[in-house]
Amino acid sequence: MKVAILGATGAVGRTMLRVLEERRFPVDELVLLASERSEGSRIAWGGRSWEVRAPTQGAFRGCDVALFSAGAARSREWAPVAAAEGAVVVDNSSAWRMDPDVPLVVPEVNPEAARRRPKGIIANPNCATIQFVVPLEGLRRRAGIRRIVATTFQSVSGAGQKGLDALAAELAGGSSADSPFPGPIAGNAIPWIGPRGPDGWNEEEDKLRNETRKIMGLEGVPIAATCVRVPVEVGHAVSGTVELEEELSADEARAAMAEVSGVEVWTDDRDPLPRDVAGLDVVRVGHVRVDRDLPRVLHFWVVADNLRKGAATNAVQIAEMLLRA
């Protein structure tokens, strides 16, 4: 199979390459694409050295799948080109997620959505959304959902290499002129991810609300999020509160979430932590409890590697679905 990766030199692009190799995806030929400043560099993969090129017309010709992680502007420019040249595009940016003609897919939740892709593009959801909807789907199947509230604690790698560099510089006692954050991140927590609208909601909070509705078919269900950047290198956490249509005990809720592929549910003797999932593809759930005043309300904690399951691995899983189709 001929596979293209746009954004191959970025944090998620390099993670995509690692995941493709780990999962033994049948790649016969790689087309590695990145910005002009990376053109001519080489990346070792699969026992060979592959040259990185800038994207051009014709670059995707003959490709079966094109994995994109180069930002929304690049995706809007090149995804239609790649699709027209015959590749199925799996895009990790926000460019196509809410397009009604582009499926937004988490394989454990809505794999059937990938079958209808009139534009030849499949969108990969936001990192925090992916890890949240996987265990949430288990609750939806078992008891139905009336309302969702989420607070995310998102690592600096969610802002790319600049985010990692900013944290490293601050921890070393300096600062970064290219920091993507609106304030110092070391020793801090910043409730501001993405532009803030006139009504006070940040873009990241809108993403979690809108994408969860689309993926899970929950249009009209009230969903509210508070998204916070924290000084963790890799690994997002989400504190979720869900009002169900039917009551579940904590044990029943754990069992329902554990039925979803890729979910590990921990018991109450210890809680899963973001640093412990770095480098893994699993979504871990813990601190599950029934609200003391509202018996149909559950509270729980979710952690996952935002570069892997929150981005690269989910994209490769979609490519694997296409391979099996």
Determine the structural domain holding residue 172 and report its residue range: 128-306
* Predicted pLDDT of residue 325: 75
Q: Are residues 295 and 315 part of one domain?
A: no
Q: Are residues 173 and 283 part of one domain?
A: yes
Q: Are residues 296 and 178 part of one domain?
A: yes
Tokens of residue 103, six digits? 């499926």
| Phi, psi dihedrals of residue 126, rounded to the nearest 5° | -60, 150
Say if residue 27 is exposed, middle or buried (CB neighbours under 10 Å; 0-12, 13-18, 19+): middle
We report the CATH number of the domain holding residue 186 as 3.30.360.10
> Considering its fold, how many domains does the chain have in total?
2
* Predicted pLDDT of residue 120: 98
Q: Are residues 33 and 110 part of one domain?
A: yes
Tokens of residue 215, six digits? 């993926």
Q: Are residues 266 and 148 part of one domain?
A: yes
Q: Is the pLDDT of residue 268 over 80?
A: no
Beta bridge partners of 196: 202
Which segments of the chain does DSSP mark as H helices, in order? 11-22, 72-84, 127-143, 161-171, 203-216, 250-258, 274-277, 313-324
Residue type, 43: I
pTM: predicted TM-score of the whole model, two decimal places: 0.94
Q: Are residues 115 and 187 part of one domain?
A: no
Q: Is the pLDDT of residue 102 over 80?
A: yes
Active site residues: 127, 236
We report the CATH number of the domain holding residue 93 as 3.40.50.720
Q: Are residues 103 and 42 part of one domain?
A: yes
Q: Are residues 320 and 215 part of one domain?
A: no
* Predicted pLDDT of residue 163: 96
Q: Is the pLDDT of residue 213 over 80?
A: yes
* Predicted pLDDT of residue 237: 98
Q: Are residues 9 and 136 part of one domain?
A: no
Distance of CA 6 to the CA centre of its chain: 17
Q: How many Å apart are CA 210 and CA 205, to the nearest integer?
A: 9
Q: What is the pLDDT of residues 14-46, one digit of tens each?
A: 999 999 999 999 999 999 999 999 999 999 999
3-state secondary structure 16-70: HHHHHHHCCCCCCEEEEECCHHHCCCEEEECCEEEEEECCCCCCCCCCCEEEECC
Task: Judge contact between 210 and 100, C-beta under 8 A.
Answer: no
Q: Are residues 173 and 118 part of one domain?
A: no
